Structure 1
Amino acid sequence: MNSMSMASAPKRFRIIPTEQGSTLRNVLMRRVKLDRKQAAAVIQAGGVYVNRLRVRLPQVLVAHGERITVYLEALDAKPLDPERVRFVHRGEDFVVLDKPAGVPVSAVRETCVGSLSEALIHQLESEGLERPYVGVVHRLDQGASGLVLFTIRDVANKSLHKQFRDHEIRRGYRVRVTGEPPAQLRCDAPLIKLRSGGVKVGSPGDGRSKPATTHFRHVARVDGEAGPEHLLDVEIETGRTHQIRAHAAHLGFPIVGDRRYGADGEGEAGSDHSRLCLHARSLEFEHPLTGAPQSFTCELPDWAQEPAVYR
């Protein structure tokens, strides 16, 4: 099965009249040549779409003309180890988790398995909750690490999403960059979201551009294999996709390990860090029900630690 599950392109087809009323699982068995267990597994892993809707129930009935998309990579997806679901705060209305680097916050196009939100659902189920609710308040790049806020009761959703939309949730980050940044930096370059999933710097007159403001503060100089690198603390006034990464690169100080916005789009050659050196270190907001101030921090990874001389 590995040869098929490694396929880069999804399988796509339409339901024909003779398949009307068949189960999705049986259709996959015939059309994609999967056995019964594999067909059920790829559906349950979130690798199958009916039209544009992800369907995770193998017994769903299909209708003539529906478009089926199958991502066989879902068969190789591994659940996140429960030990990697690190709680910084566990309340009745929301939780704050310390996301490991390399783990997606929520489902990716190919699968739901392995995401932090999926692992949180399983954790809540293990505590005895039936069909637990998990809402993603904000996202953090898959390569980054640090604090992520989830609601676990839908009553908390409206308040927290409003705070996020109104830029009332304060988030602090630490990054490691190349170049020689000054003590303070501010970037107001507007950003345009691309269909590819990234962003590019736009111009104020471009209707596609969205305002974005990022503040950088120099923390310490550190030694990298290819030369000096620098730690910066970062705060954002807006929450655009890849905002910190795009702004850092735009200013001439790309984040170490950034393979999208780094040098030549291939990260920093010679760097001793293969991961994206971006960590969400602090989070401040109002409690969604009581309005009481909430403040959370988490430990810095090794790459983000200040040398002893700066402490």
Structure 2
Amino acid sequence: MTSPKRFRVVPLEQGMSLRNMLARRVRGLDRDRAAELIRAGGVYVNRLRVRLPQVLVAAGERVVLYTEALDAQPLPPEDLVFVHREQDFVVIDKPAGVPVSPVRETAVGCLSEALIHRLEAEGITRPYVGVVHRLDRGASGLVVFTIRSIANKSLHKQFRDHRMRRGYRLRVRPRPGCEPAGELSCDAPLIKLSEGGVVIGKPGDGRAKAALTHFRLVGAASGSASDPELLLDAELETGRTHQIRAHAAHLGFPIVGDHRYGGDGAGDRDIAPAQLDRLCLHAQRLDFEHPVSGAALAFEAKLPAWGKLP
């Protein structure tokens, strides 16, 4: 990942369009490429993402741009897999490697952007898409979006109050002496780091947030007796950033493919090259109340090949 370019608008550029100003200031960007970069969500003005090339800039404004946005590949809207769809919300089976919402460097290639384009292609003018919860980029499985604002309050409240039940399948490689057996839980508090990710909190640390994850052994996946890989199911009682990943690693069985919490590159061995970027974490089940009727709803996604018992 390249470092972002940062500069201020000078008095001579007062009243210029953002596109023309970038073409003037950034080597290798002509007006067309500058417009493409802006539309891809790679440009911020005063910390706000701007996606309209014709916006006028003012002297003194801070501009940050991420040129890698030009290389981002869109997720084809027709590739979206709807597990459930109605007028207020949708449940989508997210593929691994796709972010739920725009990342810092670009808005292209995320699930919410593809959903917007899908609704536009169906004739909906200026469609609304609301992100209810997130799922790590490398993970796969069920994600719910609102497509009418009327559903926002109920679904967000269910998520905030931990009434939206989420079940996950994960593949782990236990460290020696840390093989899970039966059922176990982890309630280690988590501290969110400013640079991203979390660490396990210590007793009395005011930054630590309560977190509770339940794990259940499903069975052996593969590997030798000395270096096994196991399948587990997990259910969240809370919804902290990277909660399952951090708790699994804390208990001694990091998730296969988790380079952040696995420590020693867990997940590289015996994984096909095309799968190296994926995290063996799959949101398999999602239960919540209908945002309008209050009826109980339950959804389930198909397991990926790595998540099935041999």
Counterparts of 1:191-206 in structure 2, within 5 Å, are 191-206=190-205
**Aligned equivalent of 2:145, options 143, 150, 157:** 150
Q: Are 1:42 and 2:37 an aligned pair?
A: yes
Q: For residue 269 of structure 1, report the CA deviation from its aligned partner.
A: 4.9
Tell me, in whole angstroms, the C-alpha distance in 2 between the residues paired with 1:83 and 1:250: 39
CA separation of 1:224 and 1:82: change in aligned 2, threshold 3 A: farther
Q: Are 1:248 and 2:251 an aligned pair?
A: no
Gap runs ≥5 in structure 1: 1-6
Q: Which residue of 2 aligns with 1:237?
A: 237
Mean Cα displacement is larger for which, 273-282 or 100-109?
A: 273-282
Cα deviation per residue 1:255-310 (whole Å; 9 max; x = unaligned)? 0110100033x334524262210000000001111111111001000000122xxx
3-state DSSP class of the match of 2:112?
helix
Q: How many residues align?
A: 300
Q: Which amino acid aligns with 1:262?
A: G
**Aligned equivalent of 1:12, options 3, 6, 21:** 6
Q: Which amino acid aligns with 2:283?
A: A
Tell me, in whole angstroms, the C-alpha distance in 2 between the residues paired with 1:115 and 1:86: 14
Q: For residue 249 of structure 1, report the CA deviation from its aligned partner.
A: 0.2
Cα deviation per residue 1:22-49 (whole Å; 9 max; x = unaligned)? 1100000000131111010000000000
Q: Which residue of 2 aligns with 1:299?
A: 302
**Aligned equivalent of 2:290, options 280, 287, 292:** 287
Segments of 4+ in structure 1 off by > 6 A?
Answer: none
**Aligned equivalent of 2:279, options 273, 276, 281:** 276
Cα deviation per residue 1:53-75 (whole Å; 9 max; x = unaligned)? 00000000111110000100011
Contact persistence 1:84–1:100 (CA under 8 A): no
Q: Which amino acid aligns with 1:194?
A: L
Calculate the TM-score normalised by the size of structure 1.
0.94
Q: Are 1:261 and 2:261 an aligned pair?
A: yes
3-state DSSP class of the match of 1:230?
strand
3-state DSSP class of the match of 2:245?
helix
Q: For residue 203 of structure 1, report the CA deviation from its aligned partner.
A: 1.7
Contact persistence 1:260–1:267 (CA under 8 A): no
Q: Which amino acid aligns with 2:137?
A: Q
Tell me, in whole angstroms, the C-alpha distance in 2 between the residues paired with 1:263 and 1:29: 43
Contact persistence 1:256–1:271 (CA under 8 A): no
Q: Which residue of 2 aligns with 1:63?
A: 58
Cα deviation per residue 1:210-268 (whole Å; 9 max; x = unaligned)? 0000000000112137832110010000000000000000000100110100033x334
Q: Which amino acid aligns with 2:118?
A: Q
**Aligned equivalent of 1:115, options 103, 110, 116:** 110
Contact persistence 2:69–2:105 (CA under 8 A): yes
Measured on the aligned residues, the alpha-carbon RMSD in Å equals 1.3
